[in-house]
Structure 1
Amino acid sequence: MGNFDFVKDVFPFIADDCARAESYISSDPLAACVYARRAIDNLVEYLYYDVLGLEKPYHDDLSGRIHNPGFMQQVSPGIIAKLNVVRKIGNKAAHDDHPNISEQAALATVRELFHIVIWAGYHLTAACDNVPISAQFDPALAKQSMALNPAQFKTLLLRTKQERNAHAKAIAERDALIASKDAAALKLQAELEALRAQIKAAQQANTVPDTHDYHADEADTRALLIDMMLKEQGWALDDPHDREYRVEGMPPTADNPSGIGYADYVLWGDDGKPLAVVEAKRTSVSPLVGQQQARQYADCLERKFGQRPVIFTTNGYETQIWDDAGGYPPRDVQGFYKKAELQRLIERRSSRSVLSSLPFDEKMDHIAGRAYQKAAIRAVDEAFDASQRDALLVMATGTGKTRVVISLVHQLMEAGWVKNVLFLADRTALVRQAANAFKNPDTGLGDSVPVVNLLNDADRNAGGRIYLSTYPTMMNLINARDRDDDAAAADGDASLSADSASAASSGAAAPTLKPTLKFGPGFFDLVIIDEAHRSVYAKYGFLFDYFDSLLVGLTATPRNEIDRNTYRLFHLEYDERTGGVPTFAYDLDQAVRDGYLVPPRSLSVNTKFMDRGISYDELSPEEQEQWDSRDWDEDGDVPDSVSAGDVNRVLFNADTIDKVLGVLMQRGLRVGDGDELGKTIIFARNQRHAEAIKARFDINWPEYHGTYAQIVTHATRNAQQIIDDFSEPAKDPRIAISVDMLDTGIDVPDVVNLVFFKPVMSRTKYWQMIGRGTRLRPDLYGPGRDKTDFLVIDCCDNVAYFNQNLPESDGYVGVPLSDRIFRMRLALLETLDAATGASGNADDADGLLAFGGSPDDRAGYRAALARTLCALTNGMDPDGNVIVRPHRRSIEAASQAEWWRHVTRDKAMQASELAGLPSAFRAGGEDDVAGGSHAGDDAAPSGDAAPSGSAAPGGNVAANDNAAKRFDLMIYSYELAVLRAEADRLGRTPDQGYGLYGIAAPAMQPPAIKHAVREAVDALRGPKLRAIPDVAACSDLIEAVAGDDWWNDVTVPMLETARKRLRGIMRYATGGVRKTVFTDFEDELTVTEGETLASGGDVAAVDMQRLREKATAFLRGLGGNIVLARVRTGRQLTEQDLAELERMLIDNGVGDEETLGEAGEQSGGFGLFIRSLVGLEPAAVQAAFSTFLDGSRYNARQIEFVNLIVHELTANGVMSAARLYEPPFSDVSGGGPEELFGSERDVDDICDILDRVRRSAIPVARRAA
């Protein structure tokens, strides 16, 4: 009698595989796991196609079927997890060259198979009465079989492959038969329907609850997870001493008077001494609980072997390392160390030197011998000596950051601190440049240390000491395994081991995949981050958490932000008053004073078109004729104007480019006794802009034969050669026209002219671009005539903008659409559940008037959101992906359908961390999950998503259809605004607003969202698009949504209908995106001597932002202060009012007279500074614009425009009339307020109101003076 005897009556086609799996647990663990994997493969295939009738998944293999949303909706999440365990262990047994699967692992795998078959037999068959629901797997019942010899094992793998191919062929033939709809097809269809009806009837008749304990073996499952993590790092765990190792000398207690203990795992060195002790605790217990016990085990092992092991504590979810003998406190790690890595860790305790006492050797002096460079290295030395593991070097561009880290790496290697180093940069060119610098025999390390550029595929398997990579490449490599042959299959779900099986049949050596991770958490001893700032951490922060290494960051522009900032990443001091304290700082001003860099000077170049745009009415008759003849868009529509933002983006005007190039050629710094233009970089806005600049240069200066100015962009085929030539003083090009590529990291000391032909929004990027000109260049202008400065020709007011020392924007970190949609769905669920009360039942709401529809509609809407989020979570694989693994606990919780029944703020916080993690669920391009439900799930809404072949155009779209995703995000944003307004009405708004989710879209007000949706849908109304059948099928809905009436009292069901029907056709929409247009209109040029550039490298450069924050917090705490009330209500201020406010700010330590005076000067006056902090009362602004909010006099678009003004004044307290021509106002009316209102008087009135509001913050006495 065996554990799986019942399977003959329930699933006879897998009975033999199940019996063989349990029979090989002790004698042949590999074979046991392979047979278990075979069993679930055939079982899932049967359930997927025959019982559930699901459509073929995108990847028709075991993994693809398990993670199909329809399958996950029908199968318990706990069983999904068990299926994945068996799948992965089975793959490991079949694929890995040295899988090292123990008897315990085989037992745990077969036990999981038992739970799977029990569940499937009880819930998805008509033979549920034959399932021993109360039984648990008993190893004593298993029959024992002889182990397979190598030839038999290879035959098993080959047979498995052949059977899988036969199954795939049979499925294809069956699909073809069903599609034919002939008599045989109808018979087959009838048989399948009869089977499903029989199962349904049996399940309905079965009233006995499922009492099986599917979690009885949690300890074994936890041990299996820990085993897998250890084996990833090469620990075989095949010796009895590896587990439950007996130690003596524990402190005696009442429970343990003998002082004998048993360490869960001991990891041994080749010399028989312990390298590490691992203490495992229950998953419900923090790893911290086991620290003291693990330390006592370490004490016992140290006394016995004379070597103190490293301490690991883990509960299967979280892991900590504690090298107390190395001088470090416990810290979180993402896994275990390999043997060699632990050996190095222990050896360093005695072999490494005290860094701060080491003299700089000759090589270090040669690489980085300047005083400030040595000071930077010494600052890092002192930090590391003090057991700090992070350091941040803030050094102006051009001061030799790369040289500093090369010298530092040399010192750390010589002193025994590091062996393997990882250098990370955000661009391929920077990685290549750094690799060459490390290899340089004169200013680098030469051939003494092997350097590996991980961007080169051929180099990846080469042994090295210094590795260099971009962030994305390293993210892709951290899951890589050590390989004997790169052709080895990585997972092999389609067949267990196609490569190895076919090789076995032919007698050839099979390509193999080693089980160990190539880059484990302990592989690198030092990680260097080039240009460390917030956006890098936001995108790639996992890398810095994954590698348990020393960390050194390099940046020219530290970023002080309240939430995520550079200093927090490096665990450095940050003070509200003085700002951040880096490990070492050396700014541009100091470098110029010390003679190591040259300063910039600027020339401001403005043209009428770049400042104000181009208006048709202002052109000459000849130019208007040229305007009318241009091909503006596919529908033949001709605009009345082009905004300043579109000049040099979609419209390129020859005269504008000619005038800027003329300034460069006339005023640019020249070399060679003034005969030759100095090396110049032109920063262009985009590729077409760069091409237009080159074309105009070649037309105007044909004598240079087309080589003088050349384009260097990512689209340039021979870009590196052009850069090399540009770096040579005597070679062309003299002018390099760049789009992003030369902004950072390109060192050409001969550069003396920088042309900013585009606006720059990032302070970090701005100073990187300025850094292209700061390098010293002796004898540039002749013998003894060195480079003393460089010229910035600024065409877009960048210098003036950044000289204001404005607070740096939080910025957009490039959050992928799918991540934002995940968070948006989460926000919708939380808001909906908050509005419906603690029960989570829509029927409990006070009507939810704004939602509209019936309770069934609300329940269906909610269920669709919850199912999709649950499916995304179920597709996250913490075992197979180290990026996902740290979130195992949250994934396991959120994989349960019941977890999503009511989403609280705590749940939302927990689930928000999962946005952006890799998921196997990609079906429908982020559309709703359709299909049935299982126990504990909400009812599925009718018409939730269009099935395959549906006429609804939005029902099936590609997973990478970003147009559909953008439309989803816009509609979801408006739905959230509707639901939040209703929650506000009910007094049930979730706390903290949108801030938790980091969603960009809700920053827009509902009118702006509505306008964006209408504009996007309006683009579908073109005559050419109406000829597309899918678009024509939605013509009525398109007309409605693009209009105005549809939006009056719009409900969530209406929005959802529009989203589902239109999302699939948004890819056809091209409206709003004009064709590239070239013109030649007369432009007007203004050239003025620019401002002196304020330093961007000074870490105190953000003090003004901190002043604003402190002042804002203080003023908001004043409550009903009379003077502050006058500020917020727009009453006229006096000198006495401002003097009183200034006195309070100084008396309360917010700032001193000098800093407050500087703040007032930057804002145009102290009253305007105060107003910008506290804003205006909405009622006061609405009163000022009451005439324009009268619906009887003005239309919806005009009122929407004025409401945007009201929102801005309420938030910022003041607004210039120039803002009326910029987004979001230009989004409502591209032709400005004149076009929208059609009356100059209305526009004048609006400008007068803005001026009155502004003047009210300027004291009367001062204005009169």
Structure 2
Amino acid sequence: MSKKELSECDICDLYITPAIKAAGWDQFKQIRREVTLTPGPVIVRGELSARNKKKKKFADYILSWVPGTMIAVVEAKDNTHTVSHGMQQALGYAEILGLPSAFSSNGDAFASHNKTPQDSEDIETEFPLENFPTPDELWRRYKKFRDIKDEETDLILQPYYTDGSGKEPRYYQVEAINRTIEAVAKGQKRILLVMATGTGKTYTTFQIIWRLWKAKAAKRILFLVDRNILADQTLVNDFKPFGSIMTKIKNRKIDPSYEIHLGLYQALTGPYEEDKIFKSVTPDFFDLIIIDECHRGSAADDSAWREILDYFKNSIQIGLTATPKETEYVSNLTYFGEPVYTYSLKQGIQDGFLAPYKVVKINIDKDVDGWIPPDGMTDDLGQEIEKRIYNQADMDRILVLNQRTKLVAQRVMQLLNATDPFSKTIIFCEDIDHAERMRKAIVNVAGRLAIDNPRYVMRITGDSVEGKAELDNFIDPESKFPVIATTSELMTTGVDAKTCRLIVLDKTINSMTTFKQIIGRGTRIDEDFNKYYFTIMDFKKATEHFKDPDFDGEPVVIYNPDPGDDPEPPDPPTDEEDDDETDEGPEDSGTKKIVISGVPVKIKNERIEYLGDDGKLITESYKDFTEKQVKQEFASLDDFLKKWNDADKKQVIIDLLEDHGVLLENLAELVGKDYGDFDLICHVAFDQPPLTRKERANNVKKRDYFTKYGEQARAVLNGLLEMYADKGVQSIEDAKVLKLKPFSDIGTPLEIIKNIFGGKLNYEKAIQELENELFKKEETA
């Protein structure tokens, strides 16, 4: 066999791997083959979803100096390609991994891209297989690229925690961890990490702490949070390996016998001096403080968090946030500095680590048209109503139309009943009063579901002991109830509800920070529970925030640190600044509301939008999406027909389309389950009239093309034809089908292939001819 005929895998085994090993690389500790970096984004249209595996990032080789410290990437191609054909792909991987060295090879030689060339060197070169760089050479290049000094390497090379399960950080978590460790090694004391909700900030934090603690760069560590549930989740989940050296600060005491402390900032400080228990230890007690959700107040000069941070001012302080906060009065960039690493929601969705969303935008007539009460009209308490235009901004803040609340509940349950009435759902309301009224409305609309299951819907708000007690059950994928949570502020952040499939926005949201946090409640993918996307149902035009460049853009520092420059002091915090509540916080404005029961309301219009490839919302059906993806792969109907007929097995074409996110079972749901894969593709992508599988099988029988075969061969082919009519083309391409009836009555698979058809090649040729008859071009014209 010539080199040109070898597969890519053969080229790796016979040429590339031996060349890398010959340069001194350890096959077991330094060379990793076939490394999946990202799984590929999830595509959602209608109620259907699939991964676009074409956009999966998959490196042929990752080279490491030591395990956990990647320093180079190599992309392999078969020998029908040029040496540098895979370079652009390799550079893409090197870019996201932060590596200076990328290589490509077809087995003849190596192409190299060096981001740190000497003055006399070219950036890109080619060299023979035997000249691949040594580990020492690429490690020197990596240190130069990342500006790592020799004295910093011990800390930077401190190993990750591993438990033997094979779990390891994702590529962006590795980058976040390494960038943080490198900053600490350089003496940086204020560090900011920006990672979208659902990307594993706590696990990333654990690995940072583990490496710094193991390297003795930090001996006493404080992980500072502002929700009890965050501390409790962390204690038993990601931080569990710390075991007996870890404690949660309670009983108003910091116990110096522990090294890792999880602290609720409300438990560490308060308005009175006796509340400030953080002062019970010396200012140099903690070497490292990690501030979770640091957008939520720690950045403000006069916040309780800042008081703690200022007291331990000599410690290393790392802020974690999904939403960098910038207002005129609050800035975490000004305090922590520019982020050492950012991983955005958009990137997480494009990589396939985060769930995409579809948006159902619903306009209610009284919201968008406004409502003016008739002269002399009174509310439910008999009080006369001020005559003016009431619109969306007033709904459930000033004006309560009970029919509107009922309508929202009906539309929510309509969607759930049409999909899965047990899909975990969060309904965000204006305040506690609204959340309670929404809970009652859902109970009434849910009917038997709520009667049979008293916890089907719960109000989970800061004042509800019963509701907060159910929070753990709501976020537990194994716990069926509660299904629906009505809330105001309490669940905007820190609630790790992996299986949340529906977020309902019946709340005015002016703050981009709050909007991002709310959207983050649905962005986790949970493959164990088949949760790959979520739906946002928007009644208050909150999703207009998606159009704002700031939604996934870079934060801009607009903080004014000099109060002398401000002619007036800032107003109390509003929804725009910091409307996130703590566990004990109130969620009601106290405004007296006008409540009216008899005013009819109706849905004026609806629009469903999906996340496009560019991260923007689009209106597109699964049919439109399929047509676009098929035409990316096949230029015309004739091109498709040629490749379909030339394929030895049609499964190759089906797999190719699946890589694009086109699942033919999804198309069958739209067009009809009696149609085969061929007709589904031709109909949806090329507008051809479809034939059912049974119609195609009958057309073959009418042609009587079986006459050239013997009696037993005709019986086998007739059986295969019936199998196609029932189950589709894949069922006849696998020889294992011959183990089933009616074929088993004729003989064993080996007897059928060898004795009846005269061998494997003749049998495969007969299957190919059968398929050609099934898919004759004139049948689709």
Which has a greater percent of strand?
Answer: 2
Tell me which amino acid in the other structure corresponds to 1:542. E
- Of 420, 423, 426, which residue of structure 2 is paired with 1:678? 423
Partner residue, 1:464: 258
CA contact (8 A) 2:194 2:321 kept: yes
Distance 2:213 2:357 in 1: 38
Partner residue, 1:804: 548
Counterpart mapping for 1:635-650 below 5 A: 639=387, 642-650=390-398
- Of 356, 360, 363, which residue of structure 2 is paired with 1:606? 363
Q: Aligned in 2, Cα 1:412/1:811: closer, same or farther, shift over 3 Å?
A: closer
Distance 1:428 1:373 in 2: 25
Q: Does 2:530 correspond to 1:790?
A: no
Q: Does 2:343 correspond to 1:586?
A: yes
Cα displacement string for residues 1166-1213 of structure 1 (whole angstroms, at most 9, x for unaligned residues): xxxxxxxxxxxxxxxxxxxxxxxxxxxxxxxxxxxxxxxxxxxxxxxx
Partner residue, 1:531: 293
CA contact (8 A) 2:360 2:537 kept: yes
Superposed displacement of residue 428, structure 1? 3.3
Q: Aligned in 2, Cα 1:478/1:381: closer, same or farther, shift over 3 Å?
A: farther
Cα displacement string for residues 970-1002 of structure 1 (whole angstroms, at most 9, x for unaligned residues): xxxxxxxxxxxxxxxxxxxxxx5xx2554349x
Q: Aligned in 2, Cα 1:522/1:458: closer, same or farther, shift over 3 Å?
A: closer
Distance 2:404 2:557 in 1: 30
Counterpart of 1:382 in 2: which secondary structure? Answer: helix
Partner residue, 2:570: 999
Partner residue, 2:215: 415
Superposed displacement of residue 571, structure 1? 3.0
Aligned residues with identical type, % of pairs: 26
Distance 1:482 1:555 in 2: 25
Cα displacement string for residues 372-393 of structure 1 (whole angstroms, at most 9, x for unaligned residues): 2122111111111111122211
Q: Aligned in 2, Cα 1:384/1:1097: closer, same or farther, shift over 3 Å?
A: farther
Distance 2:158 2:613 in 1: 34
Partner residue, 1:631: 381
- Of 262, 269, 272, which residue of structure 2 is paired with 1:475? 269
Q: Does 2:211 correspond to 1:445?
A: no
Distance 1:658 1:812 in 2: 42
Cα displacement string for residues 71-103 of structure 1 (whole angstroms, at most 9, x for unaligned residues): xxxxxxxxxxxxxxxxxxxxxxxxxxxxxxxxx
CA contact (8 A) 2:409 2:445 kept: no
Q: Does 2:511 correspond to 1:745?
A: no
Counterpart mapping for 1:908-919 below 5 A: none
Partner residue, 1:662: 410
Distance 1:371 1:695 in 2: 45
Counterpart mapping for 1:143-292 below 5 A: none
- Of 592, 595, 604, which residue of structure 2 is paired with 1:1086? 604
Q: Aligned in 2, Cα 1:480/1:355: closer, same or farther, shift over 3 Å?
A: farther
CA contact (8 A) 2:462 2:468 kept: no
CA contact (8 A) 1:654 1:1078 kept: yes
Cα displacement string for residues 437-469 of structure 1 (whole angstroms, at most 9, x for unaligned residues): 355xxxx3252422123xx32664574222233
Tell me which amino acid in the other structure corresponds to 1:737. T
CA contact (8 A) 1:682 1:756 kept: yes
Distance 2:556 2:431 in 1: 24
CA contact (8 A) 2:348 2:354 kept: yes
Tell me which amino acid in the other structure corresponds to 1:449. I
Partner residue, 1:500: none
Partner residue, 2:465: 717
Q: Aligned in 2, Cα 1:730/1:528: closer, same or farther, shift over 3 Å?
A: closer
CA contact (8 A) 1:534 1:565 kept: no
Cα displacement string for residues 890-928 of structure 1 (whole angstroms, at most 9, x for unaligned residues): xxxxxxxxxxxxxxxxxx97xx69xxxxxxxxxxxxxxx
Distance 1:474 1:714 in 2: 20
Partner residue, 2:777: none
Tell me which amino acid in the other structure corresponds to 1:685. E
Distance 2:480 2:332 in 1: 40
Counterpart of 1:543 in 2: which secondary structure? Answer: helix
CA contact (8 A) 1:597 1:776 kept: yes
Superposed displacement of residue 760, structure 1? 1.1
Counterpart of 2:208 in 1: which secondary structure? Answer: helix
CA contact (8 A) 2:503 2:522 kept: yes
Partner residue, 2:229: 429
Distance 1:546 1:482 in 2: 11
Distance 2:389 2:567 in 1: 40
Distance 2:612 2:547 in 1: 5
Distance 2:257 2:421 in 1: 48
TM-score normalised by L of structure 1: 0.32
Partner residue, 1:542: 307
Tell me which amino acid in the other structure corresponds to 1:414. K
Q: Identify unmatched segments of 5+ residues in structure 1.
A: 1-349, 484-515, 573-581, 618-623, 781-785, 816-907, 914-991, 1004-1071, 1099-1265
CA contact (8 A) 1:353 1:415 kept: no
Q: Which stretch of structure 1 is more off in the superposition, 789-798 or 462-471?
A: 462-471
Counterpart mapping for 1:968-987 below 5 A: none
Partner residue, 1:595: 352
CA contact (8 A) 1:757 1:794 kept: yes
Distance 2:514 2:257 in 1: 35
- Of 168, 189, 192, which residue of structure 2 is paired with 1:392? 192
CA contact (8 A) 1:651 1:1079 kept: no
Q: Which gives a bigger RCO, structure 1 or 2 (Cα 8 Å, sep 6+)?
A: 2
CA contact (8 A) 2:327 2:558 kept: no
Distance 1:559 1:591 in 2: 20
Tell me which amino acid in the other structure corresponds to 2:381. D
Cα displacement string for residues 998-1056 of structure 1 (whole angstroms, at most 9, x for unaligned residues): 4349x9xxxxxxxxxxxxxxxxxxxxxxxxxxxxxxxxxxxxxxxxxxxxxxxxxxxxx
Tell me which amino acid in the other structure corresponds to 1:370. R
CA contact (8 A) 2:293 2:319 kept: yes
Superposed displacement of residue 721, structure 1? 3.1
Distance 1:462 1:522 in 2: 12
Distance 1:607 1:810 in 2: 35
Distance 1:466 1:561 in 2: 33
Q: Does 2:500 correspond to 1:700?
A: no
CA contact (8 A) 2:198 2:524 kept: yes
Equivalent pairs, count: 442
Superposed displacement of residue 644, structure 1? 3.3
Q: Aligned in 2, Cα 1:718/1:398: closer, same or farther, shift over 3 Å?
A: same
Distance 1:363 1:703 in 2: 46
Q: Aligned in 2, Cα 1:637/1:565: closer, same or farther, shift over 3 Å?
A: closer
CA contact (8 A) 2:269 2:276 kept: no
Partner residue, 2:334: 568
Cα displacement string for residues 220-273 of structure 1 (whole angstroms, at most 9, x for unaligned residues): xxxxxxxxxxxxxxxxxxxxxxxxxxxxxxxxxxxxxxxxxxxxxxxxxxxxxx
Distance 1:654 1:812 in 2: 42
Superposed displacement of residue 423, structure 1? 1.8
CA contact (8 A) 1:753 1:790 kept: yes
| Max Rg structure | 1
Q: Does 2:205 correspond to 1:405?
A: yes
CA contact (8 A) 1:397 1:768 kept: yes
Superposed displacement of residue 790, structure 1? 0.6
Q: Aligned in 2, Cα 1:417/1:365: closer, same or farther, shift over 3 Å?
A: farther
Distance 2:326 2:373 in 1: 45
Tell me which amino acid in the other structure corresponds to 2:282. G
Report the aligned-residue RMSD: 4.0
CA contact (8 A) 2:334 2:557 kept: no
Q: Aligned in 2, Cα 1:543/1:695: closer, same or farther, shift over 3 Å?
A: same
Q: Aligned in 2, Cα 1:645/1:560: closer, same or farther, shift over 3 Å?
A: closer
Q: Aligned in 2, Cα 1:614/1:463: closer, same or farther, shift over 3 Å?
A: farther
Superposed displacement of residue 1076, structure 1? 5.1
Tell me which amino acid in the other structure corresponds to 2:245. V
Distance 2:542 2:285 in 1: 43
